Amino acid sequence: MAKTIIREFIDGKDEGAWIELYNEFKSYYYSSDFEPLDERGVEWFKRTPWWRESRLFIAERDGEPVGFILPFIDKAYDPPKGYIWEFAVKPNLEGDEVDSILLSKAVSWLSSAGARGIQASARDNMLKRIRLYQSVGFKMIRTFSRMRLKPEEIRENIGACAEAELRIANPTWSCEDLKTLNALCNMAFQEHFDFRSETLEETRAWLEEEGYENHVLIALIRGKPVGYVVASISDKLSGDRPKIGFISSIGVLKPFRRRGVGTSLILEAIRWLSEKGAELIELDVDDANPTGAPQFYAKIGFKAIFKTLTYLKRL
């Protein structure tokens, strides 16, 4: 059997392998239910603040890249927390030494960088990946649902908020809009799983991913910002795949929940995505979300299509 060699990513050389391995692995487990990575996505990520605290390791056999892992150390936590951000191998090599050696390398690097815990995730059909995590001490701590809706399936007589004014925001151009969105996101999510305050740089970075058009709405009551939604749609060619729009993020400040603000926001986001040609609308939600978000989305008409399992390994 050929020996597996692990080396660090080489800028200007390994981008193609990163893209090819990512797309091969994701398409195996997600079929058409994922946005393929392209050169724009790679170059965007290399400009983000998360890249500065990451390492990308490539696995090779006989000089051919056969897998990669992208660990990230988040020093905003005290003590720092590690994440397995992306992890892909050729599907026919799963369960071989390739994935276990890559994971061992990532755990070693994160430990040396100061992480005291490492978080990772796997879709519910990734049985070999799940067994790998469990075999080295990762414990499942959370589940998330991917939910989907056809715009024509929105349920009738859903109560929107008559007193809420919705304003289109442009946080990539307006500093004030960026600050407002960042503040709303941090305040709305502070009671949620794995929360830590997002920086202005991070908020801007995820809105600037190339290949996606975003629609940002701010909800105001008597002039006060009380909630937001970010809807996103890709410009990538989909072939026979239905065009999918995403509710990337939505939040309402705690004192203003249960008043239809979130309903007003999500209905307007769905309307915009439909106008952009989205045939399906998707979002991700924590199954144990403290606001009852899964039930709210089900009331709109969303249905769960798969689960993502979150794991933690303590160091």
pLDDT at 236 over 90: no
pLDDT tens digits, one per residue of 89-130: 999 999 989 999 999 999 999 999 999 999 999 999 999 999
pLDDT at 241: 80
- Rounded distance between C-alpha atoms, residue 144 and residue 304, angstroms: 10
The pLDDT mean for the chain works out to: 95
CB 269 within 8 A of CB 252: no
pLDDT tens digits, one per residue of 60-95: 999 999 999 999 999 999 999 999 999 999 999 999
- Rounded distance between C-alpha atoms, residue 147 and residue 104, angstroms: 33
- Rounded to an integer, the average pLDDT of 137-155 is 95
pLDDT tens digits, one per residue of 254-289: 999 999 999 999 999 999 999 999 999 999 999 999
pLDDT at 34: 83
pLDDT at 52: 96
- Rounded to an integer, the average pLDDT of 173-195 is 97
pLDDT at 1 over 90: no
Alpha helices per DSSP H over 146-253: 175-188, 200-207
CA nearest neighbour of 247 among 292, 297, 311: 297
- Rounded to an integer, the average pLDDT of 40-61 is 97
For the chain, percent of residues with pLDDT exceeding 90: 89
pLDDT at 33 over 90: no
CB atoms within 10 A of CB 62: 9
- Rounded to an integer, the average pLDDT of 121-145 is 98
pLDDT at 70: 98
CB 48 within 8 A of CB 74: no
pLDDT at 156: 76
The pTM of this model reads 0.95
- Rounded distance between C-alpha atoms, residue 139 and residue 130, angstroms: 10
pLDDT at 212: 93
- Rounded distance between C-alpha atoms, residue 18 and residue 60, angstroms: 12
CB 66 within 8 A of CB 93: yes
- Rounded to an integer, the average pLDDT of 288-314 is 96
pLDDT at 157: 76
